[in-house]
Chain A
Amino acid sequence: EDQVTQSPEALRLQEGESSSLNCSYTVSGLRGLFWYRQDPGKGPEFLFTLYSAGEEKEKERLKATLTKKESFLHITAPKPEDSATYLCAVQGGSQGNLIFGKGTKLSVKP
């Protein structure tokens, strides 16, 4: 069964304190691994798609990496506006939909 597990559930950082969020997955035939950001009361907002092990993508203070079993979202020198829930999702070979993890709630304090 395709499955996504994210850790930690919640993460509190001071502004400027870099860290990483983890997403471990099991899927038959990975078509893509996705990272989304979700603010309270809003729908998820697309950040990255990774397709194969070794791939990396960056956007501002965020960098996503992918191995055969997990993905990391690295946050460098975070700011309070980076506070949100970060969702990881996979798309498997036998289906067209996304399977989401429960998310990591990130709080960045000034």
Chain B
Amino acid sequence: DAGVTQSPTHLIKTRGQQVTLRCSPISGHKSVSWYQQVLGQGPQFIFQYYEKEERGRGNFPDRFSARQFPNYSSELNVNALLLGDSALYLCASRAPGQEDEKLFFGSGTQLSVL
């Protein structure tokens, strides 16, 4: 079975631009979370979606937004990019009926903002 897939794998943008990152969860998983990982740091929570509804949001500015589609795939959008947005963006899914946060992560999208 395919794991969590993310696209693109790498992306280079300039300050002020907008970016859209995509994620497909493991088949049958309905919950998707997004995390930002800056080099040398642990992942930091951005959003959680379940059944197309936002279930949680981390301490990120309104420039960050996300949505989940009927097939449970998800997009993360970041507007007005800043140099500090350069990071590895991770998507993770959770199995149905799993009450704790045992997450399955994709390999991430490496975003570089110049």
Task: Report A's interface with B, CB cutoff 8 A.
Answer: 4, 31-32, 34, 36, 41-46, 49, 51, 87, 89, 91, 95-103
Contact = CB atoms under 8 A, between A and B. Distances in A.
Interface of B: 4, 33, 40-45, 48, 55-56, 58, 90, 92, 100-108
B12 to A, nearest CB: 16
A46 B104 contact: yes
B101 A91 contact: yes
A102 B44 CA distance: 10
Contacts of B103: 44, 46, 98
Contact of B56 (A34, A96, A99): A96
A94 to B, nearest CB: 11
A96 B43 contact: no
Given A95-B56, A97-B48, A43 B105 contact: yes
A59 to B, nearest CB: 14
The 5 nearest A-B residue pairs measured at CB: A100-B42, A43-B105, A97-B45, A32-B100, A91-B101
Contact of A42 (B101, B102, B107): B107
